[in-house]
Amino acid sequence: MIRRFLFVSLLLLGFLTILYYVSSYQQDLQANSLDGYLEFQAKEIVNKMSPEELSGQVIHVSIPGKTLDQTAEKEIEEILPGGIILFGINLGTKEEISNLNLELQKKSMEFSKLPLLISVDQEGGRVLRVRDGVTQFPGAMALGQTKNSDYAYKVGFVTSYQLRKLGLNFVFAPDLDINNNPDNPVINTRSMGSTPEMVSIAGIGYEKGARIGGAIPTIKHFPGHGDTNVDSHLGLPKIDKTLEELEKMELIPFQESIQQGAEVVMSAHIVYPKLDPDFPATLSSKILKGVLREKMGFKGVIITDAMEMDAIDKHYKDKDPGVLAILAGADILLMTSWGKTTRDMKNQILTAYKNGIFQKGERDFLKEAVYRQILLKLKHGIVYEFSSKKSESKEKLSDLEIKEIDFFQNQIAQREKNFSEIFSPNLNTEISRASIVSFPSLFDPSSVKTEETIFSVRGKEFETALEEKNIPNVNYSKIPLLVKQNKFKRIVAVTFSQLELDLVAKLAKRHSNLEVVALHYGSPFLKLNTLPNLKILFSFSPTLESKKALLYSVLERKSTIPVVDLILKGENEKTASQQP
């Protein structure tokens, strides 16, 4: 009897196990069949495209205004671009942005039968293109200083969600450059930090949140733009590091983000002579294919930084840089102009294609680039969004078409649910306050008493905040007279520039018996004086909430403010780690 019971039990267990694996297999099959169907669609679309369509799809262009004017319409009709990048000149109210994007998509569907990737630089902090309809979060460096990946995830998700609601489906963030060179003129506070760990914590959190938010995120600028003192908009930077050195620093955040599922990488216009002595990363097969694709295993979309930047335009213009970039492994050529410049680029690609430059054996590198971009549009529901399938009855659709529709409808519903759970009116305030740090040592705000403090601030946000609390705002020139009254223990001043920081440092030297606190919302990568009675509080961001967080730190905050964790310029060029 016992043996029979054991036999039946084992048989039942085996049957349940089989059911489990069959069920798991069916789920995997369903997932794979949808992926396979999207891949099939991408291949089918690419194989039907003419050389003119293929050559246009790899180019993303810009337009001159806030409406679909004749110039913008002509750009879409003649280039047949895969995407459009929008800047401040294109972005007005949220209604204007939504209307513009809808008109752009309609025009693209009319001429190319494909929707656009519509992109924007929306990093937060000092890089905010969209001012209406999107929360103005602090920038990357502020996020990094919180050392909280959950904050980064929420900022990435909310920003991405709100952009997609406006019709912006492609965001050029997060920046995974490690700002380990305090003289860097272009990355600066756009970086999450000065170490691989800090950049990875915030950067990966942001990318993962943004990826499910609706606007496709882009990790940039591969293989790293942090350790340079040249702006690639204005020159051709060089980073003289070996691959082994890059693997111990610059490549770490990129590798970790790729392993976590990042789908788009932006290349850097920087020469790495020990990897490729002849070409910057954007034009280098050794870097984009050899390092990024083969060594690091990246299978997604590679987009170039703007091809008109001086690093490319002044040094490689006569070498067909667009052709070189595609051959190197890039899938999208980002252009920030329209008219002759974009037409010249398309002619460059089209001529090369007709001459067989992109064909090697059975491979067609131009088609491969277009395939990856179209698959990205399919996977993120951008093709579905403008598909006629949505309005057709299910009786006319195949099982896979129905599955595709159900998948994206569920995805949209889940996105809405996630937003309602993640976003709150206080989220920006909470993160902005958590990002405030002190230099060169801890700052205890509990010792600040307003009646013992001279406040000298400039700027509407700061002035209004003091007025609301009935705190006098003193003109800078009158501070010495008040100090003579011997009833004050502290001076609090707002700074943004090197000049303002220097003036505050002079105050600290002149009044060594007083504590002087600078509320600094500009770049921290300035010459910082290390006086015993001087403290600098950093927000790394000029947003309204960041400015309010600085004042909050001296007026209401009770907990100690931590020390900044960055490589900074100190007095006599000391770094933060060398400060007392």
Active site residues: 233, 305
| H runs (alpha helix) in 166-302 | 196-213, 243-247, 251-259, 285
For the residues of 130-176, what is the DSSP string, one character each? --SSS-----HHHHHHHT-HHHHHHHHHHHHHHHHHTT--EE---B-
Measured from the Cβ of residue 111, the count of other Cβ atoms closer than 10 Å reads: 17
Q: What's the CA gap between 166 and 99, in Å, rounded?
A: 9
Whether residue 171 contacts residue 207, with contact meaning beta carbons closer than 8 Å, is answered with no
SS3 label, residue 266: strand
- Label residues 331-353 b or e (16+ Cβ within 10 Å = b): bbbbbbbbeeebbebbebbbebb
Question: Which class for 245: exposed (0-12), middle (13-18), buried (19 or more C-beta within 10 A)?
Answer: middle
Q: What's the CA gap between 342 and 358, in Å, rounded?
A: 20
Quick one: angle between helices 399-422 and 196-213, nearest 10? 120
275-279: long-range contacts, CB 8 A cutoff, minimum separation 24: 275/223, 275/242, 275/243, 275/246, 279/316, 279/324, 279/328
Beta strands 216-217; 333-334: pairing state = unpaired
Q: Is 494 left (phi over 0), alpha (psi -120 to 50) or beta?
A: beta
Residue 327 structure tokens: 């051959």
Whether residue 568 contacts residue 524, with contact meaning beta carbons closer than 8 Å, is answered with yes
